[in-house]
Amino acid sequence: MARVFVEMGDLETAVAVREAAAADGHDVEMVESPGDIDSRLRPGVEEMALILTGRLDETVASNLSGVFSGAIPRPPLLAVVPERDPEELRRVARLFDLDAAIPAPPDPDEVQVALRNQLDRYRLQVETGIVGRTEAVREVLDRILLIAPVNSTVLITGESGTGKELAARAIHSLSPRRSRPFIAMNCAAVPESLLESELFGHEKGAFTGATSRRRGMFELADGGTLLLDEIGEMPPQLQTRFLRVLENRRFMRVGGDTEIQVDVRVVAATNQDLREAVRRGTFRRDLYFRLHVLHLELPALRQRKPDIPVFVRHFVREVSEAHDREFKGLAPEAMQILLEYDWPGNVRELRNLVESMVVLAPGSVIRAEDIPPEIRSGRGRSLLPTPAMASVVAFRESAGEEGAMAERIPQMEFIFRTLVEMKMDLDDLRSEFERYRGRHPELTGVLPLVDLEVEPIEISAGDEAAAIAVFSGDPVPAIRLTPDMTMDDVEREAIRIALEEVRGNRRKAADRLGIGERTLYRKLRQYDLDT
Delimit the domains of the chain by residue range: 3-128, 141-203+215-297, 302-375, 386-470, 479-531
What is the pLDDT tens value at each position of the chain, 531 positions in all?
Answer: 899 999 998 999 999 999 999 999 999 999 988 878 877 877 666 789 999 998 888 777 777 767 776 788 889 999 999 888 888 888 888 888 888 999 999 999 999 999 998 998 898 888 888 888 888 998 999 999 999 999 999 999 999 999 999 999 999 999 999 999 999 999 999 988 889 999 999 998 888 888 888 999 999 999 999 999 999 999 988 999 999 999 999 999 999 889 999 999 999 999 999 999 999 999 999 999 999 999 999 999 999 999 999 999 899 888 888 888 777 788 899 999 999 999 999 999 999 999 998 888 887 888 888 898 889 887 555 444 444 444 444 444 444 444 444 444 445 545 554 554 454 455 555 555 666 566 555 555 544 444 444 444 443 444 433 333 333 334 445 566 666 777 778 888 888 888 888 888 888 888 888 787 777 877 887 888 865
Integer Cα distance of 189 and 195 in angstroms: 9
Cβ-Cβ contacts under 8 Å for 155 (sequence gap 6 or more)? 231, 267, 268, 269, 270, 274, 291, 292, 293, 294, 295, 296
- Angle 65-69-73 from CA coordinates, rounded to 5°: 90
Q: What is residue 444's predicted lDDT score, i.e. its pLDDT?
A: 53
Q: Which residues touch 444 (CB under 8 Å, ≥6 apart)?
A: 437, 478, 479, 481, 490, 494
CB environment 366-385: b (16+ within 10 A), e (fewer)? beeebbeeebeebebbeebe
Residues pairing with 366 in the sheet: 330
Specify the pLDDT at position 380. 54
Confidence (pLDDT) at 208: 82
**pLDDT at 485 (0 to 100):** 74
Fold of the CATH domain 302-375: Helicase, Ruva Protein; domain 3 (1.10.8)
* Adjacent-strand bridge partners of 296: 156
CA-wise closest residue to 274 among 226, 230, 224: 230
What percentage of the chain carries pLDDT values higher than 70? 79
Q: Which CATH class is domain 3-128?
A: alpha beta
Asked if 270 contacts 167 with a C-beta cutoff of 8 angstroms, the reply is no
**3-128 and 302-375 have identical folds:** no
Residue 101 has phi, psi (to 5 degrees) of -115, 135
pLDDT at 152 (0 to 100)? 94
Amino acid, res. 83: E
Nearest to 520 by CA among 88, 56, 509: 509
CATH fold of 479-531:
Arc Repressor Mutant, subunit A (1.10.10)
Superfamily of domain 141-203+215-297: P-loop containing nucleotide triphosphate hydrolases (3.40.50.300)
CB atoms within 10 A of CB 88: 14
Is residue 183 within 8 A of residue 220, CB to CB? The reply is: yes
- Quick check: 251 and 245 in contact, CB under 8 A? yes
**What is the per-residue pLDDT for 519?**
79
Model pLDDT, residue 209? 81
CA-to-CA distance for 92 and 54, rounded, in angstroms?
14
| Phi, psi values for residue 387, rounded to 5° | -55, -35
H/E run at residue 173: helix 164-173
